Structure 1
Amino acid sequence: MPFVPHTPEEVREMLAVIGVDSVEDLFAEITNSMRPQSFDIPEGLSEMEVLAKLEGMAAKNATDSASFLGAGFYDHYIPAAVDALTMRGEFYTAYTPYQPEASQGTLQAIFEYQTAVCRLMDMDCANASVYDGGTALYEAVMMAVRKTKRRKVVLSEALNPIYRVMLDSYITNLNLELVCVPHKNGRTDIEGLKAAIDDKTAAVLVQNPNFFGSVNDFTDLFNAAREQKAVSIISSYPVLQTLLKTPGQMGADVAVAEGQSLGLPLSFGGPYLGIMTCTKKMVRQMPGRIVGRTQDTEGRTGYVLTLQAREQHIRRQKATSNICSNQSLCALRALVHMCALGEMGMRRAARLSIERAHLCAEKLTAIPGVEMLTDGPFGNEFAVTLPVNAYEVIARLSDRGFIPGFPLGRYYEGLENGLLLACTEKTSEEHIGILAEMMKGALK
């Protein structure tokens, strides 16, 4: 039996209050051409039949391809302990811990996660309630706008273009000015960013490594921003943070990241985790939830939600954000992943990823017509230019079980021959060798 919560009499009462005669009148403004003509719902199936149908559909996915895709999302190895621990019922069904006395385990897990990412980024404070890397970047911008009372945002074109599209969408009606400083052959134009910062700038946004894989030290840029009282925001790659100069060491005010690379499978795009950290002076602008550790009246350690500046807790116009979904399960996976690997394991994964990327770059640039787009240091990702359109090469190699990378022409005009490749510790030397041979054949 379908569940209908309202009786016909209750429906009539509600319609009378609204001032319409029927439910159909509520949708009168929607023309017939815009209404569904048919839902085309198939007949019901048994559990066995549904399972067989879904397994057949899933089998059509190419799950055994060798992939060199990155562009912000990476196929790192996830220890078996991550699934084993985070799939426990105590965690798997947990939602927002509104009652701390009944949620000490969840609160402690979030507190430990905050501690871990603060150590990773070398920052003072962290939260655990941002959807993904792009959302975290937008929220960081709004932190800067509230802090400075300014409306101008300077960002690098070498920032992940997916994040830039998200940022454009979020601020469409917020009367903010975005100043995008072009990249220089895949390098972040630090001097151009400095020149764009003035006394009207709320924030400067950069990424390390940038979208093209290029590694930078933004210390001087952040110093220049500080002189103009602008907020410095950096988007980082968590795995490589174990080897690179940290946001804290560079002097960033807010450091964000996509947490997918820490124990979260690619899973067709989510759910993911937006890592968000900041300095103590910015903490009161941070959205979402922050867990604090305290003591009860008997001196026992306890965990509570603190600085909950959300619309559920304070007047809407004073809320820092209307983030409502709780990402603590994804945050827990990141925490277990970091703990399972430990500092040495994370460094080893980062080092292997970088070594494989440099080997791959060496093999590919030995092919006539293939050149590095960028010069200077890079991490586990790099961009090359090909003598033909990158889409052509991707089509040829994908049909043979190799996804050679991301076509830069999708977001960057003039880079139609550009290809972005990423390696992780899972990328074998054998696959790199095969890719080079296949690329050589595809370019003949």
Structure 2
Amino acid sequence: MRYLPLNPADRQAMLATIGAPDIDALFADVPEEARLDGPIEGLPGHASEMAVERAMGAMARKNLSAGDAPFFIGCGAYRHHIPASVDHLIQRGEFLTSYTPYQPEIAQGTLQALFEFQTQVARLYGCEVANASMYDGSTACWEAIAMARRVTRRGKAILSAGLHPHYVSVAQTMARFTGDVIDSALPDLTEGAPGDDSARLFAAIDEDTSCVVVQYPNVLGHIGDLSELAARCHEKKALLIAVVPEPVALGLIRSPGEMDADIVVGEGQSLGVGLNFGGPYVGLFACREKHVRQMPGRIAGETVDAAGKRGFVLTLSTREQHIRREKATSNICTNAGLCALAFSVHMTLLGEKGLRDLAALNHAKAVRAATRLANVPGVELVNGPFFNEFTLRLTEEARPVLRALADRGVLGGVSLGRLYPDGDGRENGLVVAVTETNTQDDVVAYAAALEEVMA
């Protein structure tokens, strides 16, 4: 895209048209503490293009990338090995330049890819129908809450303490505009089932509840059985929403749909999509068929053409913003198509057996790492059942420990003090993720560095 600068008169004309007194007024919803009050420190104020490139390159070299060090960071974004063939296939011209398949006669390839993606997500989640992707896991979570309101005509969502706080924050932000009541709580590090607040959820469900939202596995890595919670929700005619940020886990553990969850959403980044500094990612969304007309986003459907040949079209599109606008089920009017394709290609390359093998490898490596790290003096494992992510409780605050580990070339995980800055005992918690990319040497290096830091 060309850089076309506007002069002051152009800017004033635009502001006058929309009724804003100045440019700062366009950022009124951004908290004051999040706004810059001057130029970005460290960037040259005026320099040649080559000098700017050199300065930016020097800044970039200060980063320690995931592939250059033992890497144990997870909490909703995971480093997995992505076969080179994934990137090769999604960059083919018929995929890379394809955007929105409104005209089925010239978009059969894209529509078929979306149809296959939906099939994979529905099978993975244990649901009857899935859409053709959302923006990311957090927005998919909110869209599920909004959908539950439409289905039940109620306005209270109960969020588990084990739901990632970023997902909670997105729900709270959006609820400001819909009037939904968001009932949330903070997790504790209770040994054996960290972040599991089933008793609170059971007690909180009432006739005003539209849905209960749980993460599976939860933000601290714990895996719980959702069956009883689903039954309690259905007794009160509420919906159970399960959030799955790590889809690889479903190669080894029961799907939420099998445990009677009504809506299953999550993040698909683990398969086919790199970490990419936080995006773009791809939101997954599936539900029971009886709720399909309230599901947001688009669906690619299979049909036959006039000659009886197999073909694909967009179906139930009247729910979308580009068709119904203010009456649509969602303001999301596109899907993360290229990332969804990468997810689907990676899933296809793995196959069912490959996904199960990958999941088993993740779990086995995580168990070995958890056992080794828990033997470090001052470190305690607080998890019960987990997949490839677990929580450690340290005898001191975790954030300085992680900084010291990074200084020693180990990216050791995510501090709960970063996710929950209010403290109350969580600041000593450390969430560690282990995938197939972690070698035994990585674990040995981590344990050695941790022993040194904790000494």
| TM-score calculated relative to the size of structure 2 | 0.88
| Greater shift in the superposed pair: 55-64 or 266-275 | 55-64
* Alpha-carbon contact 2:82-2:273 (below 8 Å) kept: yes
Q: For the structure 1 residues 196 and 105, does the alpha-carbon distance in structure 2 shift closer, same or farther, using more than 3 Å as the test?
A: same
Superposition pairs of residues 248-259 of structure 1, within 5 angstroms: 248-259=257-268
Aligned position for 1:227:
235
Cα distance in 2 for partners of 1:94, 1:24 equals: 33
Q: Which amino acid aligns with 2:297?
A: G
Alignment of 1:313 onto 2:313: no
Distance 2:398 2:241 in 1: 32
- Of all paired residues, the percent bearing the same amino acid is 42
Structure 1 residue 75 displacement after superposition: 0.3
Amino acid at match of 2:205: I
Distance 2:69 2:275 in 1: 14
Could you list the per-position Cα deviations for residues 419-442 of structure 1 after superposition, in whole angstroms to 9, with x for gaps in the alignment? 110000011111111211111111
Deviation at 1:183, TM superposition (A): 3.5
Flag the 1:102–1:397 CA change in 2: closer, same or farther, 3 A: same
Could you tell me how far apart the structure 1 residues matched to 2:18 and 2:234 are? 58
Once the two structures are superposed, the pairs formed by residues 16-415 of structure 1 within 5 Å of their partners are 27=21, 42=46, 45=49, 55-63=57-65, 64-184=68-188, 185=190, 186-236=194-244, 237-308=246-317, 309-314=319-324, 316-374=325-383, 376-412=384-420, 413=423, 414-415=425-426
Deviation at 1:127, TM superposition (A): 1.1
Deviation at 1:61, TM superposition (A): 2.3
Give 2:108's aligned amino acid. Q
Provide, for residues 244-286 of structure 1, a one-character-per-residue CA deviation record: whole Å limited to 9, x for no partner. 1111110011001100001100010000000001110111111
Is residue 392–residue 431 contact of structure 2 (8 Å, CA) maintained in 1?
A: yes
> Structure 2: which amino acid aligns with 1:390?
A
My pick for the range that moved more, 418-427 or 347-356, is 347-356
Amino acid at match of 1:263: G
- Note the C-alpha offset of 1:173: 2.6
Letter aligned with residue 380 of structure 1: N
Q: Give the match's secondary structure for 2:265.
A: strand
Which residues of structure 2 form unaligned runs of 5+? Answer: 26-34
* Match in the other structure for 2:451: 440
Instruction: Find the residue that maps to 2:285 and give its secondary structure.
Output: strand
Q: Distance in 2 between matches of 1:242 and 1:29?
A: 50
Is this contact kept in 2: 1:65–1:402, CA < 8 A?
A: yes
Deviation at 1:91, TM superposition (A): 0.7
> Which is worse superposed, 275-284 or 364-373?
364-373
Partners of 2:96 and 2:392 in 1: CA distance: 42
Counterpart of 1:435 in structure 2: which amino acid?
Answer: Y
The answer to whether the Cα contact below 8 Å between 1:153 and 1:178 also exists between their aligned partners in 2 is: yes
Aligned length: 429
The 1:36/1:325 distance shift into structure 2, 3 A limit, reads farther
SS of 1:224's equivalent in the other structure is helix
Q: What amino acid is aligned across from residue 221 of structure 2 in structure 1? A: G
Give the TM-score, by structure 1 length: 0.90
Pairwise CA distance, 1:189: 1.7
C-alpha displacement of 1:141: 0.2
Give yes or no for contact 2:161–2:195 (8 Å, CA) kept in 1.
Answer: no
Answer with 166-175 or 105-114: which moved more: 166-175
Letter in 2 for 1:248: G
Shift of 1:443: 0.8
RMSD: 2.8
- AA matched with 1:313: I
Residues 135 and 282, structure 2, Cα contact 8 Å, conserved in 1:
yes
Contact 1:255-1:277 within 8 A present in 2 as well = yes
In the aligned structure 1, how far is the partner of 2:262 from the partner of 2:230?
Answer: 9
In structure 1, what is the Cα distance between the partners aligned to 2:186 and 2:24?
A: 44
3-state SS of 2:447 partner: helix
- The separation in 2 between residues aligned to 1:38 and 1:50, in whole angstroms, is 15
Indicate the larger mover: 211-220 or 324-333.
324-333
SS of residue matched to 1:212? coil
Relative to structure 1, is the Cα distance of residues 387 and 25 closer, same or farther in structure 2, using a 3 angstrom cutoff?
closer
Relative to structure 1, the CA distance from residue 280 to residue 369 in structure 2 (aligned partners, 3 Å threshold; closer, same or farther) is: same
Q: Find the residue that maps to 1:341 and give its secondary structure.
A: helix
Contact 2:73 2:414 (C-alpha < 8 Å) held by counterparts: yes
